[in-house]
């Protein structure tokens, strides 16, 4: 009688980093030649556990250095309280638990949540990483998802038709410290949508189909990040993590040499302790140069490799690309090309980042940013403000959005000339930007120039007074003629507006009220509430012929 293992084969599908185009990991998929062993495993936790161990062993036989993704049903973990045989199999294969991500697969209905969370906690304590699979097409409760606090969330490709849902999930994952992957990507359009919505990883037939032999090359379209995917503080290092080539600290120089010569794409090796924490970093070129010198092999082959390594350069998983560059800038120039190890909160290696990936991405972000700057003031335009408004709405954060312009600006141009008008616009923009910097509220305030004499300021409500004082209390003039400014602010509490269009609609009547006042004016209202507060300005009829804005903001 044949065992189910006699007809079971495994396929490998790459998990692709959308930012670098590199293969970040391999998912091992059961492919029975006959029968439906997965349906049986869904009903039989013991069988499912054995399948997971078999998948690990199948990957070990392929001698892949890549991190692995193994599937396991949620009910299996809850029923077995973890996967002790898997931990033993990982050690027997010469791998480390933190190189293995467990993709927890639906269904979740009728799964005891407390038992599941306890099992996940046990696996995480052993070093395994956790992924929540099938989100968007499964039945995982949102509360359970947050309680699981996964390292990775895998979204079904059907959500790409609902980019707001993907962006919202990206926001949630940022709070959880998780990455976002999209499964089932089949077209370049879907790939572009995934990247634009903020996904960092993806899988699907577009890149490489599941195959019996791990794919050496994958196809990744040349795509630029969509608007709003790069935060102003710099992209997160998580977006650039590549798998690390690791060996135990006790490895010999000969073992390192064998790994490097057998893997030409590996730029260096990290020597880690028993917990996966980097202790030494071995750079490919420097190491092979030492080994290839006269008597080099005879001198070093059987000696500990750590003697030819350097202290590793490390950053935390929450670092930005700019912070990585700061780390690279410290030390000798001969180490500029060294990989930087990325470590988690326990100091364990989660991968490496390469300087070339960072420089390329930061250059792209600077080009994107420059393209969105107003040529007159060099301030961001409407796209940057809209993206940040949408982000705060998705985060459920309160914010104050202000619209400022120069009173009777057409008369300024007609009377003093367009050069004086341009200079006045530049001066107002500079004053707004300086106010943000001097008040040390850079992380909470954004200034945008949306065209003509119109500016937007996005800030926390408590930051408004010093910003307004720095701008409205200045005696402005153009061509020797005094000029005043008008400011309207709408404070949006959590849930008071659903998108930036509603925020703009709430702001328009406040701007009309501010323009109806004499002198420098400031009107403040609250989204969803009637009326407004006049904080600056004198009531009275506006001077004849001046008019005032009645339209929704042009952004």
Residue 288: per-residue pLDDT = 85
- Phi and psi for 202 in degrees, rounded to 5? -155, 160
Q: Which residue has the higher pLDDT, 541 or 485?
A: 485
SS (H, E, C) 450-497: EECCEEEEEECHHHHHHHHHHHHCCCEEECCEEECEEEEEEEECCCCC
pLDDT, tens digit (0-9, with 9 covering 90-100), for 426-483: 899 888 888 877 654 445 678 888 888 889 898 888 888 888 888 888 889 888 889 9
- Phi/psi zone of residue 470: left (φ > 0), alpha (ψ -120 to 50 degrees), beta? alpha
Q: Is the pLDDT of residue 213 over 70?
A: yes
Which whole number is the average pLDDT over 364-370? 54
Which whole number is the average pLDDT over 352-359? 82
Q: Is the pLDDT of residue 551 over 60?
A: no
Which whole number is the average pLDDT over 189-210? 89
pLDDT, tens digit (0-9, with 9 covering 90-100), for 96-117: 888 899 999 999 989 999 999 9
Which whole number is the average pLDDT over 376-389? 80
pLDDT, tens digit (0-9, with 9 covering 90-100), for 34-66: 667 888 888 999 999 999 999 999 988 876 778
Identify whether the C-beta of residue 16 lies closer than 8 Å to the C-beta of residue 203: yes
Residue 175: per-residue pLDDT = 85
User: Which SS3 state, helix, strand or coil, does residue 349 take?
Assistant: strand
Residue 234: per-residue pLDDT = 57
pLDDT, tens digit (0-9, with 9 covering 90-100), for 68-90: 999 999 999 999 988 989 989 99
The angle subtended at Cα 427 by Cα 422 and Cα 429, nearest 5°, is: 95
Q: Is the pLDDT of residue 231 over 50?
A: no
Residue 553: per-residue pLDDT = 47
**Could you give the residue ranges of the DSSP H alpha helices within 283-354?**
284-292, 296-300, 321-329
User: Which SS3 state, helix, strand or coil, does residue 140 take?
Assistant: coil
pLDDT, tens digit (0-9, with 9 covering 90-100), for 257-305: 888 888 888 889 999 998 889 999 999 888 888 877 666 666 667 788 8
Q: Is the pLDDT of residue 216 over 80?
A: no
Residue 228: per-residue pLDDT = 39
**Helices 418-438 and 409-416, axial angle in degrees (round to 10):** 130
Identify whether the C-beta of residue 431 lies closer than 8 Å to the C-beta of residue 470: yes
State how far the Cα of 24 lies from the Cα of 66, in Å rounded to an integer. 7
- Phi/psi zone of residue 356: left (φ > 0), alpha (ψ -120 to 50 degrees), beta? alpha
Return mean pLDDT, the chain. 83
Residue 445: per-residue pLDDT = 78
pLDDT tier at 533 (50, 70, 90 boundaries)? very high
Residue 489: per-residue pLDDT = 95
Q: Is the pLDDT of residue 371 over 80?
A: no
Q: Is the pLDDT of residue 516 over 50?
A: yes
Q: Is the pLDDT of residue 139 over 70?
A: yes
Q: Which residue has the higher pLDDT, 229 or 113?
A: 113
Residue owning tokens 């990957």: 59
Write out the H or E segment, with its range, that includes residue 31.
strand 23-32
Residue 229: per-residue pLDDT = 41
SS (H, E, C) 217-265: CCCCCCCCCCCCCCCCCCCEHHHHCECCCEEECCCEHHHHHHHHHHCCC
Residue 21: per-residue pLDDT = 82
Residue 360: per-residue pLDDT = 73
234-243, 347-356, 401-410, 470-479: least confident range: 234-243
pLDDT, tens digit (0-9, with 9 covering 90-100), for 297-326: 666 677 888 888 889 989 888 787 777 877
Look at strands 399-406 and 446-451 and give their pairing: unpaired
Residue 189: per-residue pLDDT = 87
Residue 105: per-residue pLDDT = 94
Q: Is the pLDDT of residue 12 over 50?
A: yes
End-to-end CA, the chain: 71
Q: Is the pLDDT of residue 546 over 70?
A: no
Q: Is the pLDDT of residue 233 over 50?
A: no
Q: Is the pLDDT of residue 32 over 70?
A: yes
């Amino acid at each position: 009688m044949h065992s189910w293992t006699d007809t079971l084969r495994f396929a490998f599908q790459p998990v692709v980093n959308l930012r670098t185009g590199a293969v970040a990991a391999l998912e091992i998929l059961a492919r029975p030649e006959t029968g439906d062993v997965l349906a049986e495993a869904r009903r039989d936790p013991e069988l499912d556990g054995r399948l997971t161990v078999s998948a690990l062993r199948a990957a070990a036989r392929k001698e892949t250095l890549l991190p692995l993704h193994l599937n396991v049903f949620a009910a299996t973990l809850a029923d077995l309280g973890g996967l002790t045989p898997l931990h033993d199999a990982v050690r027997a294969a010469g791998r480390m638990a933190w190189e293995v991500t467990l993709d927890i697969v639906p269904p979740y209905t009728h799964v005891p949540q407390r038992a599941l969370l306890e099992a996940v906690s046990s696996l995480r304590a052993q070093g395994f990483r956790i992924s929540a699979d099938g989100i968007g097409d499964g039945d995982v409760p949102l509360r359970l998802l947050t309680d699981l606090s996964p390292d990775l969330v895998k979204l079904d490709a059907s959500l790409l038709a609902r980019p707001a849902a993907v962006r919202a999930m990206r926001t949630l994952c940022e709070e959880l410290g998780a990455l976002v992957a999209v499964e089932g990507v089949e077209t370049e359009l879907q790939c572009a949508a995934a990247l634009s919505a903020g996904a960092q990883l993806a899988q699907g037939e577009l890149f490489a189909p599941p195959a019996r032999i791990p794919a050496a090359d994958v196809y990744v379209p040349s795509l630029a990040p969509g608007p709003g995917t790069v935060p102003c503080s710099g992209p997160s290092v998580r977006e650039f993590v590549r798998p690390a080539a690791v060996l135990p600290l006790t490895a010999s120089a000969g073992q390192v040499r064998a790994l490097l010569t057998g893997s030409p794409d590996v730029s260096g090796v990290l020597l880690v302790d028993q917990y996966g924490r980097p202790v030494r970093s071995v750079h490919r070129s420097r190491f092979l140069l030492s080994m290839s010198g006269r008597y080099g092999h005879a001198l070093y082959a059987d000696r500990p490799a750590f003697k030819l390594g350097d202290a590793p350069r490390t950053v935390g998983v929450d670092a930005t690309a700019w912070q990585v560059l700061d780390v690279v800038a410290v030390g000798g120039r001969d180490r500029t090309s060294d990989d930087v190890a990325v470590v988690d909160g326990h100091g364990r290696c989660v991968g490496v980042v390469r300087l070339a990936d960072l420089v390329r991405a930061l250059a792209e972000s600077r080009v994107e940013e420059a393209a969105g700057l107003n040529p007159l003031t060099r301030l961001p335009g409407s796209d940057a403000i809209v993206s940040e408004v949408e982000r705060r709405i998705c985060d459920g954060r309160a914010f104050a959005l202000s619209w400022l312009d120069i009173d009777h600006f057409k008369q300024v141009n007609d009377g003093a000339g367009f050069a004086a008008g341009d200079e006045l616009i530049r001066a107002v923009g500079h004053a707004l930007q300086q106010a943000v910097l001097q008040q040390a509220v850079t992380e909470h305030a954004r200034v945008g120039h949306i065209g003509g004499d119109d500016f937007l300021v996005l800030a926390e409500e408590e930051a408004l007074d010093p910003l307004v004082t720095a701008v409205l209390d200045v005696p402005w003039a153009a061509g020797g003629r005094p000029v005043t400014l008008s400011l309207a602010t709408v404070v949006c509490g959590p849930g008071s507006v659903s998108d930036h269009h509603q925020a703009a609609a709430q702001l328009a009547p406040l701007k009309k009220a501010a323009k109806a006042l004499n002198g420098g004016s400031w009107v403040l209202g609250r989204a969803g509430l009637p009326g407004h507060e006049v904080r600056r300005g004198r009531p009275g009829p506006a001077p004849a012929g001046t008019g005032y804005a009645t339209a929704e903001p042009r952004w």
